[in-house]
């Protein structure tokens, strides 16, 4: 039972991560792979505030999310002013730099990881309650994603992806929108990190390396970029499938690389054979019903 | 404490160790310039080159002069495969740069995992021993690796330079880098040029990896770190500027190694990311070298002067 | 009459290519000015400089007395400057109606915080924008294709969508880049009528156009450009009749 609850929590967090990442790389069309580092910032900030400064855990979690959002805006703003390509480089540099710093600073526990993170909810409500919290958070993320993508904001994002010059010529501020989406998505990742930290009560920097970036990219790309349910499907599949392999009796030295090989191999197969993912996004922007042109008679 | 000898020693050692780094940076910059791909799969090619050399020399016991050409062949072959099976179909499909980038990233990780499965995660080397005899010149210790490494780097760069200037395909590479559509109009086969570029980058990487693996231990994930150094050098050196990337790689290598004198060794790695980040914020166009003037003028000439004005049909003029 | 748009001493060069050389130009409310000249005279570049696609090297651009030069493109548009594009630049993934809905000067839907804190306000504004868009579609006779993806229309209709989208700005100054190129039949008539109506509403309109008939019928005044300079300004008929300008236009 415990195993299933933990799996549910991992799936919930992955869904939130993949869904918010989809907002960034899919709907906003921003080229970044640094989502895990904002996950890490949320985890570490929340864990440290709660453990060392004694902040109540919910408040610490909120601070973790805000820190992740602020950090992402600080990365995005200077690089987006130059051009889209630089965001990629800046985000990679930021990701590796922050992880390098975490490994070398004593307050974060260094490369060995941060231990004794205060628990939350589990002692009062049990693990089931925590799983419910995480799943509610994941569902909220997916719903927000859908709302943003299919409302006026999504319309503007769609126009921006189509033609940024024409978009700016109409008076829309593309850079501000990109930074806002980036910060929002990263804030969600930060909150997910905080939720992770206070459940497992132990984080290490190596959980947030480029491998994690690849896993998230896989979820979004295999599931279907720029769709509401694609990343959800991708996250569930890619969290559940490797669990199946763990039942096969293999030494860990082989199991880890084998899992990685399956992950990356699967993405490559998809990139070549089905680039649109399991769930394909349509060419045209789909408004939510109340914004649809077809229902304009009722408005 | 900081004597002249120590300074000279640090400078020399870091200069020598930057030799393979220069090759990685130039290879990365070349593919970015001509193919316009942030080719993170270069890390995968580096891994292939290293383990080819490792299995030939360290495992099969072949001499180095056999193992290194084998490594070169392996990295060139892997690069060609990457272009034919990966980049070309993606180009045909008009995949977005983001998509292509993800592809390269995933490929390099796939190769890292393969290497882990086949060779394990332990650090290994090309030659069974990392020991190189040392001679003292003045008070500076010079290892027997240093000279050949710097020599091989310089020869490779000279060959590349000559190839770009003299060879037909090399000149085509520059033409395609400047304006791929125009080059195609002049009858240059883009696909062949892209293939040639990737293979040449693979050869450079192969030389670099043989040098690097002869002196330091390598594990399947090492090449990703090495490649990020190349990325940083390419960006700071100015995207599209090969020699800028090469010089920056030397400068970064020296600064990073010399930093041992001033900051704790474990922060050395961090310094690279600081540079990278500062470069993006303050030098988005790289350091301008005087020789880039020509490139600059070329770029300006291709600036989009508004919408391309289509020739109005004569009939409409008279309307 | 106070001018809407005032340009003084505008310079721009790309390397050795001069696209604007000391341009002075004023546009007045309710007047349609036709910008004519051969290809490469700098007409579209002038539009790009005014709307901020690239920054000018020197000179000033004022809209209702307010400096535009130095401002980002989106800021200029939000001060009341609208333009269309020679190659359309519609949003192919959006329907015609949605293309227009992205166009109003104020668009609350592009602020995430606003969406979270004031959803009712955003909804109300959306409804207002929708009514306005439907009105504009009515005027441009595009109501029938409101739900069609912009990319699926005929070329003439797409040109009309481009103009309609620019109208959503309720701009003080409207720049039309070759609105008639490739437009025939009914769309031609509609275009003429729409531009005239807009000008009658007190907007300063400037048109780049190679279709001389369209310029002559529609424009109150013509401005002749050559090699980044304004060479002459006056009634369109006079400019066309001037043998010196005709020679420059058609080349020798």
CB pair distance less than 8 Å for B273 and A100: yes
CB pair distance less than 8 Å for A268 and B99: no
Instruction: Check if B93 contacts A (Cβ < 8 Å).
Output: yes
Chain B contact probe: residue of A35, A111, A254, A261 with most B CBs at under 10 A: A261
The Cα of C49 is separated from the nearest Cα of chain A by a number of Å equal to 12
Contact of A36 with A213, CB cutoff 8 Å: yes
pLDDT score, position A290: 58
> Of B62-66, B127-131, B284-288, C217-221, where does mean pLDDT reach its minimum?
B284-288
Q: Which residues of A touch C83 (CB under 8 A)?
A: 169
How many domains is chain C partitioned into structurally? 2
Q: Which of A264, A271, A272 sits opposite B109 (nearest CB)?
A: A264
What does each C-alpha distance from C27 to C199, C203, C214, C236 come to in angstroms?
A: 11, 9, 19, 15
pTM of the predicted model, to two decimals? 0.84
pLDDT of residue B307 exceeding 70, the answer is no
pLDDT more than 90, % of chain C = 66
CATH of the domain at C38: 3.40.50.300
Query: In this structure, is residue C133 part of a structural domain?
Result: yes
Chain A contact probe: residue of C94, C97, C105, C164 with most A CBs at under 10 A: C94
- Distance CA(A174)–CA(A162), nearest Å, equals 12
CB pair distance less than 8 Å for B270 and A79: no
Query: In this structure, is residue C149 part of a structural domain?
Result: yes
The Cα of A96 is separated from the nearest Cα of chain C by a number of Å equal to 29
Q: Which of B297, B300, B309 sits opposite C39 (nearest CB)?
A: B309
- What is the mean predicted confidence (pLDDT) over C24-36? 94
CB pair distance less than 8 Å for A158 and C93: yes
Whether residues C72 and C126 share a domain: the answer is: no
- What is the mean predicted confidence (pLDDT) over B224-242? 82
Whether residues C71 and C122 share a domain: the answer is: no
pLDDT of residue B144 exceeding 60, the answer is yes
pLDDT score, position B290: 36
Whether residues C29 and C134 share a domain: the answer is: no
- Distance CA(C160)–CA(C180), nearest Å, equals 9
- The CA-to-CA distance between both ends of chain B, in Å, stands at 86
Q: Which of B297, B305, B311 sits opposite C19 (nearest CB)?
A: B305
Out of C99, C122, C153, pick the residue that ends a domain.
Answer: C153
Phi and psi torsions of C100, nearest 5°: -70, -35
Whether residues C68 and C96 share a domain: the answer is: no
pLDDT score, position B141: 85
The Cα of C191 is separated from the nearest Cα of chain A by a number of Å equal to 20
The Cα of A150 is separated from the nearest Cα of chain C by a number of Å equal to 11
The Cα of B284 is separated from the nearest Cα of chain C by a number of Å equal to 18
pLDDT of residue B206 exceeding 90, the answer is yes
- Distance CA(C187)–CA(A157), nearest Å, equals 30
Q: Which residues of B touch C87 (CB under 8 A)?
A: 307-308
C184: nearest CA in chain B? Answer: B316
Whether residues C10 and C74 share a domain: the answer is: yes
pLDDT more than 70, % of chain B = 87
Q: Which residues of C touch B301 (CB under 8 A)?
A: 14-15, 17
Of residues A266 and B311, which shows the higher confidence score?
Answer: A266
Query: In this structure, is residue C86 part of a structural domain?
Result: no
Q: Which residues of A touch B273 (CB under 8 A)?
A: 93-94, 96-97, 100
- Distance CA(A240)–CA(A234), nearest Å, equals 10
pLDDT score, position B14: 86
CB pair distance less than 8 Å for A214 and B114: no
At C9, is the pLDDT very low, low, confident or very high (cuts 50, 70, 90)? very high
3-state DSSP of A175-232: HHHHHHHHHHHHHHHHHHHHHHHHHHCCECHHHHCHHHHHHHHHHHHHHCCCCCCHHH
The Cα of B111 is separated from the nearest Cα of chain A by a number of Å equal to 8
> Exposed, middle or buried, C65 (CB in 10 Å: 0-12/13-18/19+)?
exposed
Contact of C97 with C148, CB cutoff 8 Å: no
pLDDT tens digits along C190-207: 999 999 999 999 999 999
Chain A contact probe: residue of C50, C51, C91 with most A CBs at under 10 A: C91
pLDDT score, position B135: 84
Domain boundaries, chain A: 2-207
Contact of C188 with C24, CB cutoff 8 Å: no
CB pair distance less than 8 Å for A172 and C101: no
Phi and psi torsions of C106, nearest 5°: -110, 130
Whether residues C18 and C73 share a domain: the answer is: yes
pLDDT more than 90, % of chain B = 33
Phi and psi torsions of B262, nearest 5°: -115, -30
Give contacts of A 167-196 with C, CB under 8 A.
167-174, 176-177, 180-181, 184
Contact residues, chain C to chain B, C-beta under 8 Å: 14-17, 19, 39-40, 44-45, 47-48, 53-54, 85-87, 177, 181, 210-213, 250
Query: In this structure, is residue C159 part of a structural domain?
Result: no
Whether residues C107 and C132 share a domain: the answer is: yes
Helix H or strand E encompassing C13 = strand C5-14
Query: In this structure, is residue C163 part of a structural domain?
Result: no
- Distance CA(B115)–CA(A229), nearest Å, equals 34
Whether residues C115 and C51 share a domain: the answer is: no
Q: Which of C74, C92, C101 sits opposite A171 (nearest CB)?
A: C74
Range of the domain at C240: 5-80+171-250
| Closest by Cα among A2, A19, A61, A4 to A243 | A4
Of residues C26 and B7, which shows the higher confidence score?
Answer: C26
Q: Which residues of B touch A218 (CB under 8 A)?
A: 106
Query: In this structure, is residue C85 part of a structural domain?
Result: no
Query: In this structure, is residue C165 part of a structural domain?
Result: no
- What is the mean predicted confidence (pLDDT) over C96-121? 88
Residue A21: both structure tokens together: 């990442």
The Cα of C194 is separated from the nearest Cα of chain B by a number of Å equal to 21
Report residues of chain A scoring pLDDT below 70.
82-85, 246-247, 289-299
Helix H or strand E encompassing B209 = helix B190-213
At C22, is the pLDDT very low, low, confident or very high (cuts 50, 70, 90)? very high
pLDDT of residue B228 exceeding 70, the answer is yes
Chains with 3+ CB–CB pairs under 8 A to C are: A, B
pLDDT tens digits along C122-172: 999 999 999 999 999 999 999 999 999 998 998 889 999 999 999 999 999
Whether residues C9 and C72 share a domain: the answer is: yes
Phi and psi torsions of A234, nearest 5°: -60, -45
The Cα of B309 is separated from the nearest Cα of chain A by a number of Å equal to 17
C114: nearest CA in chain A? Answer: A153
Query: In this structure, is residue C15 part of a structural domain?
Result: yes
The Cα of A213 is separated from the nearest Cα of chain C by a number of Å equal to 26
Contact of A143 with C51, CB cutoff 8 Å: no
pLDDT of residue B16 exceeding 80, the answer is yes
pLDDT tens digits along B151-204: 999 999 999 999 999 998 888 898 888 888 888 888 888 899 999 999 999 999
CB pair distance less than 8 Å for B270 and A101: yes
B86: nearest CA in chain A? Answer: A272
Of residues B11 and B30, which shows the higher confidence score?
Answer: B30
Whether residues C54 and C178 share a domain: the answer is: yes
Whether residues C113 and C225 share a domain: the answer is: no
| Closest by Cα among B25, B293, B34 to B174 | B34
pLDDT score, position A83: 64
Contact residues, chain B to chain C, C-beta under 8 Å: 297, 300-301, 303, 305-312, 316-319
Average pLDDT across chain B, whole number:
82
Of residues B304 and A282, which shows the higher confidence score?
Answer: A282
Whether residues C123 and C185 share a domain: the answer is: no
């Amino acid at each position: 039972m415990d195993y299933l609850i933990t799996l549910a929590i991992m799936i919930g967090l992955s869904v939130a991560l993949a869904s918010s990442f989809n907002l960034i790389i899919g709907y906003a069309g921003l080229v970044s792979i640094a989502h895990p580092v904002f996950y890490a910032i949320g985890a570490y900030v929340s864990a440290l505030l709660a453990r060392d400064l004694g902040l109540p855990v919910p408040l610490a979690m909120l601070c973790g999310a805000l820190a992740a959002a602020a950090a992402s805006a600080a990365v995005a703003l200077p690089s987006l002013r130059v051009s889209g390509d630089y965001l990629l480089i800046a985000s990679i540099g930021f990701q590796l730099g922050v992880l390098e710093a975490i490994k070398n600073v004593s307050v974060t526990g260094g490369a060995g990881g941060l231990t004794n993170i205060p628990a939350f909810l589990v002692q009062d409500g049990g693990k089931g309650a925590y799983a419910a919290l995480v799943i509610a958070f994941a569902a909220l993320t997916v719903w927000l994603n859908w709302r943003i993508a299919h409302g006026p904001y999504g319309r503007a994002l769609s126009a921006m992806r189509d033609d940024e010059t024409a978009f700016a010529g109409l008076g829309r501020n593309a850079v501000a929108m990109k930074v806002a989406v980036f910060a929002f998505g990263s804030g969600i990742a930060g909150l997910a990190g905080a939720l992770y930290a206070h459940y497992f009560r132990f984080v290490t920097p190596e959980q947030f390396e480029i491998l994690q970036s690849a896993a998230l990219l896989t979820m979004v790309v295999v599931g279907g970029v720029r769709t509401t349910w694609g990343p959800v499907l991708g996250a569930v599949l890619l969290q559940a499938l490797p669990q199946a392999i763990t039942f096969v009796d293999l030494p860990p030295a082989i199991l880890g690389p084998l899992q990685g090989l399956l992950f990356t191999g699967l993405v490559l197969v998809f990139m070549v054979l089905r680039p649109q993912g399991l769930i394909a996004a349509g060419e045209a922007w789909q408004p939510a019903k109340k914004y649809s042109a077809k229902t304009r008679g009722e408005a | 404490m900081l004597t002249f000898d120590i300074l000279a020693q640090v400078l020399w050692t870091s200069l020598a160790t930057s030799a393979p780094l220069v090759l990685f940076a130039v290879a990365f910059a070349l593919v970015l310039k001509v193919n316009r791909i942030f080719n993170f799969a270069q890390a995968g090619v580096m891994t292939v080159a290293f383990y080819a050399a490792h299995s030939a020399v360290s495992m099969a016991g072949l001499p180095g002069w056999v193992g290194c050409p084998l490594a070169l062949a392996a990295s060139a072959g892997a690069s060609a495969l990457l272009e034919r099976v990966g980049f070309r179909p993606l180009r045909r499909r008009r995949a977005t740069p983001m998509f292509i980038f993800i592809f390269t990233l995933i490929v390099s990780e796939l190769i890292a995992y393969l290497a882990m499965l086949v060779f394990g995660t332990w650090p290994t080397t090309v030659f069974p021993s990392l020991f190189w005899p040392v001679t003292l010149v003045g008070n500076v210790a010079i290892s027997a690796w240093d000279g050949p490494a710097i020599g091989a780097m310089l020869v490779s760069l000279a060959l590349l330079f000559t190839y770009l200037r003299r060879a037909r395909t090399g000149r085509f590479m520059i033409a395609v880098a400047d304006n791929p559509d125009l080059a195609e109009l002049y009858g240059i086969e883009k696909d062949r040029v892209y293939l040639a570029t990737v293979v040449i980058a693979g050869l450079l990487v192969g030389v670099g990896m043989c040098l690097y693996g002869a002196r330091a231990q390598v594990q399947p994930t090492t090449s990703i770190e090495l490649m990020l150094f190349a990325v940083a050098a390419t960006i700071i050196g100015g995207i599209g500027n090969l020699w800028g990337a090469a010089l920056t790689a030397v400068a970064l290598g020296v600064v990073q190694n010399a930093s041992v004198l001033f900051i704790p060794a474990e922060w050395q790695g961090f310094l690279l990311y600081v540079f990278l980040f500062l470069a993006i914020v303050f030098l988005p166009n790289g350091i301008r070298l005087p020789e880039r003037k020509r490139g600059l003028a070329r770029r300006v000439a291709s600036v989009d002067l508004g919408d391309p004005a289509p020739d109005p049909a004569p009939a409409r003029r008279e309307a | 009459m106070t001018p809407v748009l005032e340009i003084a001493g505008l310079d721009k060069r790309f390397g050795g290519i001069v696209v604007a050389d000391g341009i002075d130009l004023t546009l007045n409310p309710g007047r349609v000015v036709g910008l004519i000249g051969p290809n490469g005279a700098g007409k579209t570049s002038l539009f790009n400089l005014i709307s901020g696609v690239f920054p000018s090297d020197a000179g000033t651009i004022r809209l209702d007395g307010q400096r535009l030069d130095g401002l980002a493109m989106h800021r200029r548009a939000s001060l009341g400057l609208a333009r269309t594009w020679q190659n359309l630049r519609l949003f192919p993934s959006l329907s015609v109606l949605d293309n227009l809905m992205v166009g109003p000067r104020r668009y609350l839907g592009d602020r995430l915080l606003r969406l979270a804190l004031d959803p009712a306000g955003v909804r109300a504004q959306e409804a207002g924008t929708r009514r306005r868009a439907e009105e504009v579609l009515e005027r441009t006779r595009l109501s029938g294709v409101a739900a069609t993806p912009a990319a699926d229309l005929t070329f003439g209709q797409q040109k009309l969508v481009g103009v309609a989208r620019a109208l959503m700005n309720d701009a003080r100054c409207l720049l039309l880049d070759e609105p008639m190129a490739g437009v025939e039949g009914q769309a031609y008539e509609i275009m003429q009528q729409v531009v005239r109506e807009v000008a009658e509403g007190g907007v300063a309109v400037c048109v780049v156009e190679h279709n001389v008939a369209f310029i002559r019928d529609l424009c109150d005044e013509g401005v002749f450009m050559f090699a980044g300079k304004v060479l002459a300004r006056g009634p369109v008929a006079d400019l066309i009749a001037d043998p010196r300008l005709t020679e420059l236009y058609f080349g020798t």
